[in-house]
Amino acid sequence: MATRKKAATRPRASATDPFAKALESRRKTSVRRTPRVTDRVVLDWAKAQLGKDLGRYTPRNASLPNIAPVVELTPRAPHGAHGHMDLLWPGRWDCESNLVFMRPIVYGDSPGEWDGSVAYVRLKAPADGSYLVAAVFAGFSSPQGGQGLVLKMNGPWGSNTASGQTTEPNGPVAIWNAQAGDSLYFSVTCTGGIIGYLQAIRLYPLA
C-alpha cells in the first residue's frame, strides 16, 4: 500500500533572529516593485557626504543635478558590458521588488569570524574621466529604539559610510578617477539594524 508523502513546509523564522522574523513577515505579504530612487536624490547624498570634493567637478559640469548613470546594476540586471555584482549570502534576492535584502554583518568571537551579506562589485570605466560611484539603498529595517543601520562601501577610497537610521533611502558614495577600460573592485555591506534593501549600484559621469 502506497504511503502518502507529507507536504513540504517552508522553514519558519527563528524566534530569536530579528532578520529572519522580518524576512518571514515580508514573505507573507505581496511584495510590490519599489519605486526607483531618483538620480537627483542620489546626487543630494553626494553633496552631503562629499562636500568640497564633489564641488570641484561642478564648474566643469553645470548640468550635474541632471546627469544620468552610465552604468546601473540592479537585482533584475546584475551584469552588463561595464560591470557586474555578486552577492554572498543575500537574505533574499527579489526580482519582483527589484531589491536584494542584505543581512547586516555580525562578527564572531574568533578573528576572521563573521556572518552577513556582502555585495562584490566590479565596474569598468566606459571612457576617461571622473565618476561618482553610488550604492543605492531603497530602505531599511531597524529595531525601535535600537541601533540603526550603517551602510558601507569599501574600496580604494577606504570605507565610505551612510546612515540607515531613517525611513528615507540613502547610500554611500565615492569618487573614482579612471581611464577608459579601467576596472574598479569594491564591496558593499551594512552593520547594525535588521535589513538593508539594496536597489542598485550606479556610476555617474562627473567630468
With a cut of 70, which residues of the chain have pLDDT below it?
A: 1-33, 58-65, 142-147, 166-167
Is residue 131 a contact partner of residue 176, using CB atoms and an 8 Å limit?
A: yes
**CATH for 37-205?**
2.60.120
pLDDT of residue 49: 93
Predicted pLDDT at 10: 38
Rounded CA separation 128/50 (Å):
21
From residue 191, alpha-carbon distances to 2, 38, 203 in Å are 51, 24, 24
What is the predicted pLDDT for the residue at 149?
Answer: 86
Cell triple for 125 = 570605466
pTM for the whole structure: 0.82
Cell of 207: 567630468
- The pLDDT value recorded for residue 166 is 65
pLDDT at 5: 41
The predicted structure's pLDDT at residue 162: 93
9-65 pLDDT, tens per residue? 434 445 556 656 665 655 554 445 578 999 999 988 998 999 888 878 755 554 566
